[in-house]
Amino acid sequence: MPEKERNASHGKPEAFLNSTRAGMLQTALAFTIWGFLPLYWKLLTRIPAHEILAHRIVWSCVFIFVLLAVLGRLNTLVPVIKDTKNLVKVMVCGFLISGNWFTYIWAINSGYVVEASMGYYINPLMVIFLALVVLREKLTILQFLALACAAAGVAIITFHYGKVPWAALTLAVTFALYGLAKKTVNVEAAAALALETAVVAPIALLYIFLKQSSGTGAVGSVSASTTLILFGSGIVTALPLLWFAQGVKKIPFSTVGFLQYIAPTITLLLGILVFKESFTKVHLVSFEFIWCGLLLYSLSLTKRFRKIPWQKIPAEGSPGANKP
């Protein structure tokens, strides 16, 4: 029997598995790039975080629209614009990811690389919390324990230093909400990213114009190489977001949280080994509680997927194919 017919006769399990593998690869690649991004933003420490964010938004928008034009896919934007429900979700995604970007840039260039990594370690557990509160999913005992461990980790560092790690929590919440929103948006990845950036681009462009017209803008006051790095922020932003947007549609939402361990691990190592940030015993204890939560979360995923009979896996494109 030909491969194509064999797939059709068995609910296309091979097609589903290939799509899942592709989704995991795309998502893992996105998180790997995000893990190394502190090295990129550290090259722009002379520029204020607000201005870096504005350029990041504008050049991301330019890059993705040029890409769509070259691929002849600008027409994919029309159905989204006409669909009010999807358009509103895309707009929400645009503001959520902008808030996440600003917090991350500020944290990196203000010497909070370790705290930024904490935020993305907390994020998978925030995904569980959203699954419970927003999606009304039933959580296992292991998942409840995972949430408790994460909360304990944040509480320890808050109590010791007398302040809440707001940067970490903001990064965790905004990206978890962004991932949830992306999961519900029925829009092709590139078109969604184009509109997400287009929503906030006018605000960013106005900010850049005001900075440049007042003589305090970065362009013209920093070196040519720094200016090119600033403009290049659009590419390093858009590419992993495209891979993430494509990958998240092909794998369960819970698996997205699991793969996200990649980014904070790289970022934490950069903070300690490259940027020589302080990593005290209190940090270690706090992170240990969070890592314990992630371990319990991983065990809950393992137990879940062992129970899934392969013959009941939905084919890619069927109503249940991309549900968590």
**Cβ pair 208, 51 in contact under 8 A:** yes
Asked if 257 and 127 touch (Cβ cutoff 8 Å), the reply is: yes
Note whether residue 5 is domain-resident. Answer: no
Q: Using only the alpha carbons of the chain, give its radius of gyration.
A: 21
**pLDDT 10s digits, 97-113:** 999 999 999 999 999 99
319 falls within a domain: no
Whether 321 is covered by a domain: the verdict is no
For residue 253, pLDDT beyond 90: no
Alpha helices in the chain (DSSP H): 3-9, 13-41, 49-70, 77-82, 84-109, 113-133, 141-161, 166-184, 189-213, 224-248, 253-259, 262-269, 281-306
* Domain assignment of residue 102, given as a range: 22-312
Compute the mean pLDDT over every residue in the chain, rounded to the nearest whole number: 83
SS3 label, residue 110: coil
| Structure confidence at residue 111 (pLDDT) | 92
Decide if 7 is inside a domain.
no
On whether residue 151 sits in a domain, the answer given is: yes
Overall pTM surpassing 0.85 (yes/no): no
Residue 162 lies in a domain: yes
- In terms of average pLDDT, the best of 141-150, 182-191, 225-234 is 225-234
Q: Domain count of the chain?
A: 1
Mean pLDDT for 225-236 is: 93
Per-residue pLDDT reduced to its tens digit, 112-133 = 999 999 988 888 788 878 888 8
| 105 found inside a domain | yes
Task: Please report whether residue 3 resides in a domain.
Answer: no
